Amino acid sequence: MRAEAAGLRWLAASGTVRIPAVRGHDRRWLVTDRVPPGTPSARAAVRLGRDLAALHACGAPAFGAPPPDGPEDAYIGLAPMRNVTSDDWPRWYAEHRVLPYLRRAVDDGTVRPAEADVVERVCARLPELAGPAEPPARLHGDLWHGNVLWGADGQAWLIDPAAHGGHRETDLAMLDLFGCPHLDDVRDGYQQRHRSPTAGANASACTSSSPSGARRAVRPGATPSRPSPRHGPRS
């Protein structure tokens, strides 16, 4: 829980996205403020997009950099995630966010060798596919829809991060991969704060492979859109 608590505090320190306050943690428990549940709305989604762009703009020391006081060895969902730093995003992403999970998925039998070969070939081409170089962004890191809580206050709150420094489009790809209510409104809000003609294109296509691979590596046959026991409100 140390990594998650450090990640929540790092995101909250940006003053951008809404994060439930961390009240305490130990090796087994994490206590945060409860978010009274509401319903998704277009207005909240636009605000989430704007705030997410502002979060990314806060930056990180390097690709793979953990939050302050966060461990190098962390988790994304139930899968181990190593925060090894680099200044080369395509190589770092392939070596630390795709290939380790791909190998586990092949070993577990959830990905066939022929399928793995396709992913490995994409990894080799990441430098040409990823688009212009960008500085490290401050990422939530596990931003599937189950980690977005739509509050009774009309705002979207983020929980359960795998926070680190990375490519900003990783969070956008994660929302797209597993589906997010009012996703077009989230994108519109993001573009209001971060205007880029390439946003949502090549890098997002590349980054969608990591979260999917992580879940297939540790939960054979799982349905990604179904929250695991670790995803959801904490009190």
Residues with a known catalytic role: 142
Q: What are the C-alpha distances in Å from 126 to residues 65, 123, 146?
A: 20, 5, 28
Residue 221: Cβ-neighbour burial (10 angstroms; 0-12, 13-18, 19+)? exposed
CB 169 within 8 A of CB 12: no
DSSP 25-80: E-SS-EEE----B----HHHHHHHHHHHHHHHHT--SSBTPPPTT--SEEEETTEE
Cα separation of 103 and 185, whole Å? Answer: 36
Give the integer Cα–Cα distance in Å for 17 and 48. 7
- Is 157:35 a contact under the CB 8 Å cutoff? yes
Closest CA to 138 of 82, 62, 221: 62
Structural tokens at position 184: 């077009």
Cα 213 to chain centroid, rounded? 13
Residues 231 and 146: their CA atoms lie apart, in Å, by 6
